[in-house]
Each structure stands twice: as C-alpha cells, then as structure tokens.
Amino acid sequence: MATGALRALIFDVDGTLADTESAHLAAFNQAFAELGLGWVWTHEMYLELLAISGGKERIWHYWQQFDPGITAQQASTWQPQIDRIHALKTLAYERAVSQGAVSLRPGVLSLLDEAWAAGLPLAIATTTTPTNIDALMRHAVGAGWRLRFAAIGDAATAPRKKPHPQVYLQVLAALKLPASACLALEDSSNGLQAALAAGIATVITPNRFTAQHDFHGALRVVPDLRHVSLDRLREWQNSARA
C-alpha cells in the first residue's frame, strides 16, 4: 500500500458508533433509584457531566458536588459504593441494549461493512467498559463482532481517560501503524483532543449531547456517516496533507 494511504479506522463507541447516552443516563438514574440515593440526573446535568470521561469518574465528580465536604483523599473510602452504583448501572444498560433501546447511528454499519469487505483494519478506542462495548456490538453486529476488529482499547486497558491519548496510543501500538496512516471517528471534544494528542486526524459526528462542543482541529465535522465512504475518507485525508 502506498506511503501515507489510509490503513485503519479507529472508532469511539458511545455517541459515535451509536447514540448511547440517553440509555446511559436512564441506567444511571435506575441504579440511583435501586440504591435509594435520591439522586436524579436530568438531561441538562448529564450534558455537563459528559465533560468528565468515564462512568465512575462522573459518579465521583457528582458526589463531590452533592456533598462538598468530601475530599479527594476520601475517594478510596467511597470507592466500594461507587463501584456498586456503576455495576448496577451497567446491568441496567445491558438490559436496555438487549431490548433494542440502542442502535448504530446512520451510516455506521455501511461504513463498517465497506471496510470489512475491503480488508481495511478497524479498531475501537473508547473510555467505556468492555461489558458495555460487548452489549452494544453483540446486539448490533452479532456474537462474533470481536473478530472484525484488529484492536480494542477500552476502560480496562486504558485507565487514563480521554482527553488523555492513552487509549489511542495503545491502539496504534496494537495495530503497529503510525498515526498518519489512521483516521479516528469521534463525537466529542474530549475524544477529539485525545485523538489529536496521539497525532490522529479525526472526523467528528456530533450528537445532541455533544453538538455544542468545540471541534477545532477536526479533519471534518459531519452530521453522521450516511454519506461517508472509504473513498470520501481518503479524499479528506489526502486534502489535509496537501
């Protein structure tokens, strides 16, 4: 393959592959209710909390706001409860996905199919958990979905969440490719910053939770992937190098 040619696509999951955030929000609130915490996250609150990458991190951030007396030094004391909340939330999210509450965003499956048919390696770089990824992809693509991805980076492999580039650097290492040979697909400013920090050109498909984010530096910002083919991605990549 020619030097500089597109050699892999790296996808974020939540908000990029699928509009998952409404289901995540509902699952958080279900977990809070099950534990009798009296917490309810509204849509507006969740928009702000999405600036914090990672479910457990969002819970801790909110807890500090809810009870300002908690200090960072007390985090280990509260960690078992945070883990319990997150575990219940994950179960609720899995149930919602299995019941059809979440589907792939427009154009995603077509682009995945085109890449698979062309033999172009695909990867995932996300801050979500392996369980959440599996629930979504198993429902959307099938039980053997992992076989279609050359590399997967997630919250289990990369504890330093976006906008830190750790997960993208791990995926590049697993793919054994330079950043210049890859394109990232993201939906948020944190995701964009993480990909750019790893040197990867990034296409953004915002959603209603991220539409107001700052996407300065993105290769392209498009509503969704409905009209985005591999040829179009190659054109954008080449134009950025011109």
Q: Using the CB atoms, write b or e for 92-129: b if 16+ within 10 Å.
A: bbbebbeeeebbbbebbeebbeebeeeebbbbbbbbbb
Give CA–CA dist 126/123, Å, rounded: 10
Residue 224 among the catalytic residues: no
* φ, ψ for residue 125, nearest 5 deg: -135, 105
Residues 37, 231 contacting (CB under 8 angstroms): no
To the query of whether residue 12 is one of the catalytic residues in this protein, the response is yes
d(CA 98, CA 192): 29
Cis peptide before 206 (omega within 30 of 0): no
Looking at residue 180, what DSSP letter applies? G
Catalytic residue among 14, 19, 154, 187: 14
> One of 12, 19, 154, 187 is an active-site residue; which one?
12
Measured CA to CA, the distance from residue 96 to residue 103 in angstroms comes to 11
**Catalytic positions, please?**
12, 14
